[in-house]
Amino acid sequence: FFLYVQVSLTLDISANLETLFTWNTKQVFVFLAAEYETPKNALNQISLWDSIIPSKEQAKLRIDTTNKYRFIDQGSNLRGKDFNLTLHWHVMPKTGKMLADKLVLSGFRLPEAYR
């Protein structure tokens, strides 16, 4: 018998990533992750949404959606859990080293009980 909790979120994502594009940028991979701690793991990271941005002209994001990937945890670790939403981006160059960075949005909490 396997128990798990699954969370569905409505996401309203706005970001201007134009400054990540230079003459050497091939594309930018961006993803939104829910990140939280449990007694077993210092960092649990669940990808909720992702996209590949192929050009500077498409780098102004304005997305209203539900999570693309399931926000799920084995057991009941998500009930009442504090979590961060972290926007990660990886700049993939035409030549040279790939660069990565992130923006952490904290202060989210899941309810103690679900329907």
> Each residue of 57-86: pLDDT tens digit?
999 999 898 889 888 877 667 888 899 999
Helical H runs in 1-115?
none
Q: How far apart, in whole angstroms, are the C-alpha atoms of residue 50 and residue 11?
A: 12
Q: How far apart, in whole angstroms, are the C-alpha atoms of residue 22 and residue 72?
A: 37
In this prediction the pTM is 0.87
- Alpha carbon 29 to its chain centroid, in Å, reads 11
39-43, 87-91, 95-99: range with lowest mean pLDDT: 39-43
Would you state the pLDDT for residue 75?
66
35-49, 69-83, 101-115: range with lowest mean pLDDT: 69-83
Q: How far apart, in whole angstroms, are the C-alpha atoms of residue 3 and residue 41?
A: 19
Nearest partner of 14 among 61, 54, 66, judged by Cα: 61
